[in-house]
Amino acid sequence: MSKRDEYVEKIKAQIDDWNADISKVEDKAAQASDEMKTKYGQCLDSLRAERDAAYQKVEQMIDASDDAWEEIQASAEDLWERSKAAFAAAKSEFGD
């Protein structure tokens, strides 16, 4: 497996983890008061947007030419860091 393939698989695994985190927040939201449901809803919207952006970046990486790969990887690193921070903040606020 090439470094590129390993990198894409690593990111896909991270997205799977984020999907599990989103499911946990959805479960908590379903049991929350109306006031908290609004907070959960805003958080879920943000997390889903981050996850969707990550999906799009993975698709770009898969389809990228060798010449474009390095540029896409660099922009992906920024996206992953932002996404990790968003998911960490949600875990901090709403717990595991």
What is the C-alpha separation between 25 and 76, in angstroms, rounded? 25
What is the C-alpha separation between 93 and 96, in angstroms, rounded? 9
The answer to whether residues 47 and 90 touch, using CB atoms and an 8 Å cutoff, is yes
The model's pTM is 0.84
**pLDDT tens over the chain, length 96 residues:** 788 888 889 889 999 999 999 999 999 999 999 889 999 999 999 999 999 999 998 898 888 888 888 888 888 888 888 888 988 988 888 776
